[in-house]
Amino acid sequence: MTILKNRLFWPAAILLALLIVNVFTSNQFITLQDGHLFGTLIDILRGSAPLILVSLGMTLVISTGGIDLSVGSVMAISGAVACLLIKDLGNQNAVGSVLLIMAVAIAVSAALGLWNGSLVAIVGIQPIIATLILMVAGRGLAQLITAGQIINVQSSPYATIATGFFLTLPVAFLIALAAIGLIAVLTRRTALGLLLESVGGSPSASRLAGIQAKRITVMVYVVSGALAGLAGLIYSANIKSADSIYAGNLIELDAILAVVIGGTALIGGRFSILGTVLGAVLIQTLQVTVVGIGVPSKATLLFKAVVVVVLCLSQSVTFREKVFGRFKSRPAVRAEVPA
């Protein structure tokens, strides 16, 4: 009974249902092949890594009552920077150089996050507009970096972060796991989580409680930028090329959706890391399921709409009460107020 009341029960149930559908539609749901795990489930885990990363950052931003629309553009920039640098390497397979380049790309992304954070916290621009600026201009920057073309790289260490396997598990998923762990520790083992929730819950009360909301806000956007950058690397490593136009296109919407499904309110305050991860995996699974059961492309959006409707209704306490509550005993019917 208490499980049923948990906010995350219904998303989890829908995720499970979708996974079960996939067990039937796929040739291999999960098997061991070429020394690593393989199958639809693994595809889902691997494919959801970028979205998980972006959604993690988004969760923190949203918990302060903000929003970050620029994540997609940051992904594009990060991938473009990395591919541009890797392409010019003498030996594209030099692990050290590739790692260094990835660090540079993430640093660039973090700097972009710093820009966002400063606009929000110091200049005082509403987050949606502050990050919209980078959303628009950032993609232009990415296109400028790649000259509007797709930059191909042939670097196996780079490709590994997206397509490689370690201990039979996909590296991309392991990276996502590490990020989840890091963010969880960062927010729940320190006091950061509390301070974030407090800033999101009531900025004015937080200020009077002596919380340095500005510093925290800036930090959150930096983290979001860095995570988006990492997601951009995985995205581009997956196709071994930098696609400045489509990388991260519309991912902000999916990320926000994942956060909301995970039980974090858009107005800020309480947030749930686990919920967000669940939301992100759910969205990815939905994507895969659409292909798996062969929903015709023109009906894909309708199918998604139905799932999202079911999801948001099932998460609504009042809806459940109204639909299932009829079976509960209710107090005797009372007359209406005389007008």
Here's the x/- map for another protein, 281-310, by CB under 8 A: it reads as ------xx-xxxxx-xxxxxxxxxx--xx-
Residue 317 contacts another protein per CB under 8 A: yes
Rule CB under 8 A: choose which of 98, 161, 174, 192 binds another protein.
192
Tokens coding 114:
């710093």
20 vs 128, beta carbon nearer another protein: 128
Residue 240 contacts another protein per CB under 8 A: yes
CA angle in degrees (0–180, nearest 5) for 211-184-304: 110
Q: Which of residues 121-150 bind another protein (CB under 8 A)?
A: 123-126, 128-130, 132-134, 136-141, 143-144, 147-150
Residue 318 contacts another protein per CB under 8 A: yes
Residue 114 contacts another protein per CB under 8 A: no
Are 231 and 48 in contact by the 8 Å Cβ rule? The answer is no
Residue 168 contacts another protein per CB under 8 A: no
Q: Tell me the backbone φ, ψ of residue 32, rounded to 5 degrees.
A: -105, 125
In the chain the first and final C-alpha atoms are separated, in Å, by 40
Stretch of 12-20, 33-41, 53-61, 96-104 contacting another protein, by CB under 8 A: 33-41
Q: How far is CA 80 from the centre of its chain?
A: 20
Rule CB under 8 A: choose which of 56, 116, 243, 280 binds another protein.
243
Residue 3 contacts another protein per CB under 8 A: no
Here's the x/- map for another protein, 71-110, by CB under 8 A: it reads as ----------------------------------------
How near is the Cβ of 96 to another protein at its closest, in Å?
25
Residue 278 contacts another protein per CB under 8 A: no
Residue 5 CA to residue 3 CA, distance in Å, equals 5
Residue 151, classed as helix, strand or coil, is strand
Residue 39 contacts another protein per CB under 8 A: yes
Residue 233 CA to residue 77 CA, distance in Å, equals 9
How near is the Cβ of 98 to another protein at its closest, in Å?
19
Residue with tokens 């490689």: 164
Residue 63 CA to residue 57 CA, distance in Å, equals 10
Are 71 and 54 in contact by the 8 Å Cβ rule? The answer is yes
How near is the Cβ of 174 to another protein at its closest, in Å?
17
CA angle in degrees (0–180, nearest 5) for 259-230-233: 125
